[in-house]
Amino acid sequence: MTRLLGIVQKEFIHLRRDALALTLALFVPVAMLFIFGYAINTDVKHIPTVVWDQSGDVEAARLLEAFANSQYFDLKFRVRSFAEVTRFVDRGQAKVGIVIPPDFASRLASRQDPAIQVIVDASDPTVASSAINAASALGQARSLQILAQTIGAGSVRAAPPLDVRVRAWYNPDLLSAFFIVPGLVGALLMQTTVTVMAAAIVRERERGTLEALIVSPIRRWELMLGKIVPNLLVAYGQMTLALAVAHYVFGVPIRGSLVLLYLLSLVFMMGTLGLGIFVSTLSRTIPQALQLSFLTVLPSIYLSGLLFPLEGMPEPAQWLAALLPLTYYLKIIRGIVLKGVGVNHLWMEILPLVLFGAVIFTLSVLRFRKSLD
């Protein structure tokens, strides 16, 4: 016990002396959250818009006013042909084109389907999804208003809803902050635990102090645990900070039990710390360890469903994803944070995570022991 505490104490001194590393460990994730959180903010406003109003009547003008008032659309250009709309969008001068048919007012009056066309440049998915959402919402809001007017005039027949047809020209990819921010917390957790763990062991090897520890009566598990405990504390600190930012800055609701989340995070980190130990057995120097850690984390970032939905990936990629602990952890953290689900809905994720944790950890510790001889 004294020996274990000795290691823990020493690791904390390392952390304290290396203030830069500690600051980085705690604040880089927060900075990342901010960068990612805002970069993926779907609320893009003031999108340059080109309008071809073929009707030129009051109803159409009112609709366009609503588009402008929403602040999502800047009605910058007015044109007189579809070719011109196309040209503005192609050149990128406008991201959205609105086409109002010539018989807009009369169709609305005769309760026919008054379709307007909204063309969205979806090459930038964030702008596109923002425009699509705003346009759809506007269309719905307007048709309700019109319906209310009709009722107010004493008619019992429901008016046809105003149909805003959205055509995405390129394939839009829909991202949402709620979806990505909790996932990011998981990815950051993995990144730090793997890297810090690997670096902490390789540093000892590089300095030659590992040799002295091997000759000492310290047990291997004491050495491992002594390094894991401070690392876990830093990881939890990082996670707490990141969750706070997610909640207070991005308004991500935390609907489920935090205690459960922290407990299951421990299961997840068993596996990632094991990976870190594994990486340390393969590296002779710190730069090697960092590169290898990066290589370990990278597939998880791309394949775990952090950025792209799992369902959209080709089958082999999905099989690979099924082998990554982060895949399961993301489902857990999203489930707890966003849906507020309890442990009874998460068994299918917890079991593989426990299995991975146990296997990776055991293998790594065995490999670590061998690498010492």
Partner 1 sequence: MTEGLTKRFGHVTAVDHLSLAVREGEVYGFLGPNGSGKTTTLRMLCGILVPTEGRGAVLGYDILRQPEQIKAAIGYMSQRFSLYDDLTTWENLTFYATVYGVSRRERAGRLAQMIRLADLTGQESKLAGQLSGGYRQRLALGCALAHAPRLLFLDEPTAGVDPVSRRNFWAIVRRLADEGITIMVTTHYMDEAEHCDRLGFIYQGRLIVEGPPATIKTTAFRKPVLEVSAPDVRKTADLLERWEAVEEIVRVGDRLRVILGDEALASADLVAWLEGQGVAARAERVPPSVEDLFVSFVDRERKARLREQLRAVGG
Binding site for partner 1 (CB under 8 A): 2-3, 5-7, 9-10, 13-14, 17-18, 207-209, 211-218, 372-373
Angle formed at CA 92 by CA 90 and CA 97, multiple of 5 degrees: 70
Q: How far is the CB of 17 from partner 1 (least distance, A)?
A: 4
User: Smallest gap, in angstroms, from Cβ of residue 6 to partner 1?
Assistant: 3
- Asked if residue 339 lies in contact with residue 255, where contact means CB atoms within 8 angstroms, the answer is yes
Q: How many CA atoms lie within 13 A of 50 on its CB side?
A: 21
Please say which residue, 174 or 212, places its beta carbon nearer to partner 1: 212
What single letter denotes the amino acid at residue 367? Answer: R
Q: What's the number of CA atoms in the CB half-sphere (13 Å) around residue 134?
A: 28
Q: Minimum distance between the CB of residue 372 and partner 1, rounded to whole angstroms? A: 8
Give the nearest distance from C-beta 211 to partner 1 in angstroms: 5
CA 137 to chain centre: 24
Residue 42 or 281: the one with the smaller Cβ distance to partner 1 is: 281
Q: Among candidates 26, 69, 71, 28, which has minimal Cα distance to 46?
A: 71
CB of 213 to partner 1, least distance (A): 7
Nearer to partner 1, 311 or 373 (CB): 373
Decide: 283 and 289 in contact? Cβ < 8 Å: yes
Nearer to partner 1, 154 or 208 (CB): 208
**Neighbour tally for 222: CB within 10 Å:** 19
Closest to partner 1 by CB, 249 or 365 = 365
CB of 11 or CB of 121, closer to partner 1: 11
Task: Calculate the dihedral angle through the C-alpha atoms of 137, 138, 143, 148, rounding to the nearest 10 degrees.
Answer: 100
Closest distance to partner 1 from the beta carbon of 255 (Å)? 43
Q: How far apart are CA 341 and CA 357, in angstroms?
A: 22
Q: Which is nearer to partner 1, 61 or 218 (CB)?
A: 218
| 106 membership: H or E segment, kind and range | helix 104-109
Nearer to partner 1, 14 or 247 (CB): 14
Question: What is the smallest separation between the CB atom of 270 and partner 1, expressed in angstroms?
Answer: 25
Q: Which is nearer to partner 1, 118 or 201 (CB)?
A: 201
**CA 127 to CA 169: how far, in whole Å?**
13
| Numbers of helices and strands, H then E, in the chain | 14, 5
Residue 44 CB, nearest approach to partner 1 (Å): 47
Collapsed DSSP state (helix, strand, coil) of residue 118: strand
- Least distance from C-beta 200 to partner 1, angstroms? 12
Residue pair 50/84 in contact by the 8 Å Cβ criterion: yes
For 23-46, give the DSSP string: HHHHHHHHHHHHHHHHHT------
The number of CA neighbours under 13 Å toward the Cβ of 187 is 23
The alpha carbon of residue 171 and the mean position of all alpha carbons in its chain are separated, in whole angstroms, by 20
d(CA 209, CA 211): 5
